[in-house]
Structure 1
Amino acid sequence: MAAPRANCSALRALSVEYKSLQEEPVEGFRVKLVNEDNLFEWEVAIFGPPDTLYMGGCFKARMKFPTDYPYSPPSIRFLTKVWHPNVYENGDLCISILHPPVDDPQSGELPCERWNPTQNVRTILLSVISLLNEPNTYSPANVDASVMYRRWRESKGRDKEYENIIRKQALAARVEAERDGIQVPLTLEDYCIKTQVKPSNAESQAEMPDFYDDDYDEDYDEFSDDSDYVDEDDNDSGNGES
């Protein structure tokens, strides 16, 4: 898919963030580009934290960034099946940090809990990992999952329905990931990122497409066409909002 029509500041911001996450990975997730010619769509692998229901799972998702990032938030859609109070049936994630900072009393969210340009991919995905284990059930995207989660929590784990579904999904996700050659961390030691030697500038340049280029204005047409960018998923995504 062709890259969206973009402004230089968005491209530069994404280039810097992507390069940083390649050189200094963060525990709990890994990222890569869906297409090396498009910095506006990332594939994410989110690992279930140890000692949680999601332990051993590798949940794949897509992040799509708007052309005015970081002034507007990206969207996240899970590709792996996830039964969760804050995930719609089509995989779209509903989380405050990705909502525009408007005053909406009915949502139960304060503007300060929503998106602001100081956020970045690291803070977003760490918030997603935290949300996996601590769902927001006040404005759920999946009402049935929310009811089931509350029943499981209030019974102090005696009602196993919610737990069994999550563990089954985590196991299935792990099997699929291992089939794709992904090593899923199963212990806290494996989960935590160890300090690694940074690649040299030459190695980094060889591994990373040169999006961060002062001459980008001259090459702008390589990343755009005569029509505005249209998200191919817009027509089939869920209409509900949290």
Structure 2
Amino acid sequence: MNPKTHSTKDNLQVLFEDNHLIVVNKRPGDIVQGDKTGDAPLSEVVKEYIAEKYNKPGAVYLGVVHRLDRPTSGIVVFARTSKALARLNKMFAERETEKIYWAVVKNMPPKTEDTLTHFLKRNPKQNKSYAHIKEVPDSKNAVLHYKLLKKLDNYFLLEVVLETGRHHQIRSQLSSIGCSIKGDLKYGFDRSNPDGSIHLHAKKLTLIHPVQKEEITIEAPTPDEAVWNACN
């Protein structure tokens, strides 16, 4: 990943913020939570941003509600209070949010729109999930809906609505119908993107505000890059 493209407190793309939550547009390469790489996670960047903006001394509270794979981009929600975190966690776990993704794929999908149902089995050693048509031991049911939004010169833009939130779900399920995501070597695309990203973007999220109880819809602009720019 090119470190110049990572989020910092000075270039953070904030899509929504109030006293209860902050929603940011993750760049490809940002890691949501710390892992074995030791790279600074997005959660720490957001804490720095809050500390500076609101002149907060001491530790800043920030709860990680959900994650996006490192090479993907788009909407990530963080909670600014423990009450908001508990409510958001429940909402995400009970699928009370609507998540819409954009995916750029190499091949035309078999149908212009369809629902995909698989059983995903995760292989932790490979950090990969395999899509099975029938249930296999230790697999989890995975459902998504896709539709073709646009034909590009060399690719196809799909809109994906998730019904379940499984490990690498979109990547694995689209790959299983011959629609590997651009740049995604792990799931069958033939070459990587120069910056190590994949063309999968968490585009739109609709949820009930954890405290004010009103519905909010947040959209994230796609990365400023040639193929994404052709999608808009």
Please give the TM-score of this superposition, normalised by the length of structure 2. 0.29
More helix by share: 1
More strand by share: 2
Higher relative contact order (CA 8 A, sep 6+): 1
Structure showing greater radius of gyration is 1
